[in-house]
Amino acid sequence: MRTSITLSAAFLALAAATGHAQPAGMSQGEYVARLGNCVACHSIPGGAPFAGGLKMAVPRLGAIYTTNITPDKDTGIGSYTFEDFDRAMRAGVTPDGKYLYPAMPYPSYAKLSEQDMRALYDYFMKEVAPVKQQNKPAEITGWKAIRWPLAIWNFLFVDDEPYATQAGKDASWNRGAYLVQGAGHCGACHTPRGLFMQEKSLDESSDAFMAGAELDHWSARSLNGDMNSGLGRWTEQDVVDLLKTGRNAHGVTSGTMVEVVNNSTQYMTDEDLKAVAVYLKSLPAALEKSAPAYAYDQATADKLRQFDLTQPGAATFSTYCSGCHTVDGKGYPPHQPPLAGNGAVLDPRASSLVNLVLNGSQRVVTAGNPASYDMPFFRTVLSDQEIADVVSFVRSGWGNNASGVTAAEVAAIRAATDPLLHDIIVLRMK
């Protein structure tokens, strides 16, 4: 591993990164910042863009606050040379030798080409307005606050060389791999983590890559070829539609993925969206290698139409859910998503579904137009048992064959996401 860019590695990375124009009126650096969704982590509601201050949970340690990355020379990164910037982005080390927590996704950003890294540096130094705002200290105390062990973590888990094109793969596949593994850092959320909180894989060489992971009481679902909970039944166009609009025939974005669409993927060029789709659709199934494809079952719809509400959760669904998602579970896509065969419903982890029922969803805003239909919250209307019953009902209805949910599981997510009891902390291991 090394922090400097060799000519050969840079040449290979440039082959993957160049030749793809950014949208009109947007510099290359701004486009790379959009690809990385930098604004989501380094801004807070009502605050200046990129001035930092977002509270982030660091598993097993405590909490940190994102830093000011505006070009202010006193409180931001205005005094960084390109080499300083490059080292922080690739190796997670600041100019004064301080190691960054890998909540900053430098293992992914390390794959950026020198061309994109220099463009990103120019964007932050020349196009972002400087903001004088002091960084907040981390809420990590005692021996846990010692950062030198991160040097060992980096040695074991970080490869800071740029992405190298793969022989035998076409330009679109390589571009998609570069975007997903690098600036997009998709694996930071969608890849499970190991004992030391490292991503179990940083590329398609392992089945663990994009196999789905738990993320602050949301499930970042599988993005591999798993037939039911992954992208096995999706077309490339389905992937493009979701990234561009936040919606497709299979479902609607939720959780922190809404911010990804709002701030990042809707701004991607059609060519890049297609490349991401090509790459993701090439990933093989991991957990569902031999699973049969979902098949619709009419029995649930028949019982609801006959007002047979004896199954736990059926009455709650009929009262609160059927208006949008319909008694046949097929909804009104792409705006009101189906529940029958929905990958988020079939996800082995039910946390996203529970969180959605409890807290609703953020609003997707694309091309300046907010979505007309949002998932409302029911935390003040339904008890833990009622939510457990209706989620279990949905996960077992219309041919869905996913595990049920207990009231205790709902109670845990309710307490963890209650704004009256806790900060609303969005964990972004990005």
The whole-number pLDDT of residue 15 equals 47
Q: Cα–Cα distance between 351 and 359 in angstroms, integer?
A: 12
The whole-number pLDDT of residue 3 equals 40
pLDDT in tens, 312-322: 999 999 999 99
The whole-number pLDDT of residue 419 equals 64
Cβ contact 228:341 at 8 Å: yes
The whole-number pLDDT of residue 22 equals 80
Q: Cα–Cα distance between 90 and 328 in angstroms, integer?
A: 49
The whole-number pLDDT of residue 20 equals 66
The whole-number pLDDT of residue 373 equals 80
Amino acid at 423: D
This model's pTM is above 0.85: yes
State residue 219 phi and psi, 5-degree precision: -105, 115
The whole-number pLDDT of residue 370 equals 77
Which regions in the chain score pLDDT beneath 70? 1-20, 419-430
Residue at token pair 């809420």: 139
Is residue 171 exposed (0-12), middle (13-18) or buried (19+ Cβ within 10 Å)? middle
pLDDT in tens, 14-24: 444 444 678 87
Q: Cα–Cα distance between 39 and 89 in angstroms, integer?
A: 15
Cβ contact 161:89 at 8 Å: no
